[in-house]
Structure 1
């Protein structure tokens, strides 16, 4: 009998690829959706859909009554919001409600994988550009998004670590750095800008960036399901550190746009742009990609992270550095009419 897996956030960027890998492995796949969710990339007839309201643990229990799962991957969440309080409501409370419902329903879940973010650590070593962020470092996020992820992790680490019957809840936390790949929309904005012959950079201090291709995140998810240490937290990157221009240079090469106007602006200019973007978002009711959270993320100079635990515990081997991942991403954008 095949293993049964529940995947939240499957209509999003990373979640859709997790679904595809679970199907490839012959698992019985259940996908949590909302009525308004797009199913554009979830067309396989083997997928079982179930509507879940993560805003209520009682509603989740009613929806999942009679079902049991071997594995749960919680990838649902928001990365930008009009109202910053929604980060806590969706990312933190949504996680708490799901886990409470699963604990109350019982069952024998072998592993619960929560996809968090390196943003839950914030600028830990901002003034130490060559020092890596480690899972043991204190978390000090400076964005509403990062705080919501940190609080979700802490709930898993403390309040929800035991089902009240002496059984430890078998969770694993994954913290990827900047995730890119086909279907991703934030880095796609950079590709669109470069296609228009403009590359915009912020800040004059060197920036140490890390990235991870979406399929390496998927690899880590299934390694965590199989080998993850209960209560473990694992960082995800491709193992390399890049300069602020590496990603844009690769996009420029793959797009073949010729002459490129490179604009480098001071951090204070970014502060103005994101301030305006934040208020325009509130007026229109549509979250802007250039908001207050984005300001703190883009101004951070050190995104180095230590993935040694991920390699040693999970057997994780990144297969896609930027030199391989960016061409695949741009090719997908072109083939699907995004560029």
Structure 2
């Protein structure tokens, strides 16, 4: 295998695992990274470094040249500020720049890394799938809405025959890599805590290496114009915290946070951002998400991408080591 893959967001949690999976399969890899960014996640990896910004057309044009494939996993994920405008340049405009550059340079396939939040969630008994529509109230989440708009644009262009593209939609990724925004924040709420507070909802957790395998499998065998939920195990926050404490060998008292309190704090976050001009992490959209069971099924990805299933317990063990 001597074809080159351009990977954006390569020094992040998912991106760095994607790079490793590509190298394992003997692809050549070029990574587009910002000048001065933390590259510890890519230490000792045989990759072609290209310094540039994904928001600059000229940089993208040069980075794409000579590549056969693109995995676009770079995105702005910070929850604040929450307005769509804060995410447009990185999450929407850059996706369009990369897609257009790919067309000009004859890219064989683009894998666009989106998010599970582009689909409606479900219950454990009836989890959300690729057929569940985007939840309208998530337009208040700049991150989720920007990824949805970018995803819809990619699908529209692909359907029109502009270029071969596949979309993958990871759920919450568990793992860590040096220097990246890892999933460590969720663990900080329970590890080494005698008392831990948990929200009433839950989410789907997918192990980082499994998600990376799904991304590369999408590159090799995904169906053009299709979306694939890269999902793992559905757990309530209480179940996740209990399991993490058990794996860590600690005893913690788990106390639920009432939904009404979370929503009150979320509305205060909205007021703080819109009136006081002081964005904080918890908005009403984020609070609502914490109160819901954000459960999804990996059925399609298992059947069509051979997505590996890693139990949440094993993923937690690997992450907190």
Give the TM-score band, short-chain normalised: 0.7 to 0.9
Specify whether residues 287 and 74 from structure 1 end up closer, same or farther in structure 2 by C-alpha distance, changes over 3 A only.
farther
User: Paired residue for 1:311?
Assistant: 302
Is the contact between residue 113 and residue 224 of structure 1 (CA under 8 Å) also seen in structure 2? yes
Equivalent residue in structure 2 for 1:68, among 63, 66, 69: 66
Name the SS of the counterpart of 1:130 in structure 2.
coil
Specify whether residues 15 and 47 from structure 1 end up closer, same or farther in structure 2 by C-alpha distance, changes over 3 A only.
same
Pair 1:264-2:256 in alignment: yes
User: Paired residue for 1:231?
Assistant: 225
Name the SS of the counterpart of 1:193 in structure 2.
coil
Query: Distance in 1 between the 2:40 and 2:182 partners?
Result: 19
Equivalent residue in structure 2 for 1:155, among 153, 156, 169: 153
Equivalent residue in structure 1 for 2:317, among 305, 323, 327: 327
Is the contact between residue 80 and residue 288 of structure 1 (CA under 8 Å) also seen in structure 2? no
User: Paired residue for 1:336?
Assistant: none
Equivalent residue in structure 2 for 1:171, among 146, 149, 165: 165
Equivalent residue in structure 2 for 1:217, among 203, 211, 221: 211
Is the contact between residue 157 and residue 163 of structure 2 (CA under 8 Å) also seen in structure 1? no
Q: CA deviation at 1:178?
A: 1.3
Q: CA deviation at 1:312?
A: 2.0
Is the contact between residue 82 and residue 286 of structure 1 (CA under 8 Å) also seen in structure 2? no
Gaps of 5+ in 2: none
User: Paired residue for 2:134?
Assistant: 139
Specify whether residues 10 and 187 from structure 1 end up closer, same or farther in structure 2 by C-alpha distance, changes over 3 A only.
closer
Q: Deviations over 1:48-88 (max 9, x none)?
A: 11123222434422x337x2212210000011143322222
Specify whether residues 246 and 78 from structure 1 end up closer, same or farther in structure 2 by C-alpha distance, changes over 3 A only.
same
Q: Deviations over 1:290-320 (max 9, x none)?
A: 445432321222x2323222122222232x1
Query: Distance in 2 between the 1:316 and 1:115 partners?
Result: 15
Is the contact between residue 22 and residue 29 of structure 2 (CA under 8 Å) also seen in structure 1? yes
Pair 1:119-2:110 in alignment: no
Gaps of 5+ in 1: 332-339
Specify whether residues 26 and 73 from structure 1 end up closer, same or farther in structure 2 by C-alpha distance, changes over 3 A only.
same
Name the SS of the counterpart of 2:74 in structure 1.
coil
Query: Distance in 1 between the 2:58 and 2:101 partners?
Result: 7
Pair 1:296-2:296 in alignment: no
Is the contact between residue 30 and residue 49 of structure 1 (CA under 8 Å) also seen in structure 2? yes
Pair 1:251-2:251 in alignment: no
Name the SS of the counterpart of 1:241 in structure 2.
strand
Query: Distance in 2 between the 1:89 and 1:198 partners?
Result: 40
Query: Distance in 2 between the 1:49 and 1:292 partners?
Result: 40
Is the contact between residue 201 and residue 265 of structure 1 (CA under 8 Å) also seen in structure 2? yes
- TM-score, normalized by length of structure 1? 0.82
The structure 1 segments of at least 4 consecutive aligned residues displaced by more than 6 Å after TM superposition are 278-283
Equivalent residue in structure 1 for 2:80, among 79, 82, 87: 82
Q: Deviations over 1:92-135 (max 9, x none)?
A: 122111111222x322x222111111111245x5xx66322221
Name the SS of the counterpart of 1:209 in structure 2.
strand
User: Paired residue for 1:21?
Assistant: 21
Pair 1:193-2:185 in alignment: no
Specify whether residues 297 and 208 from structure 1 end up closer, same or farther in structure 2 by C-alpha distance, changes over 3 A only.
closer
Specify whether residues 282 and 215 from structure 1 end up closer, same or farther in structure 2 by C-alpha distance, changes over 3 A only.
farther
Specify whether residues 56 and 160 from structure 1 end up closer, same or farther in structure 2 by C-alpha distance, changes over 3 A only.
farther
Query: Distance in 1 between the 2:173 and 2:257 partners?
Result: 24
Q: How many residues align?
A: 313
Query: Distance in 2 between the 1:286 and 1:11 partners?
Result: 29
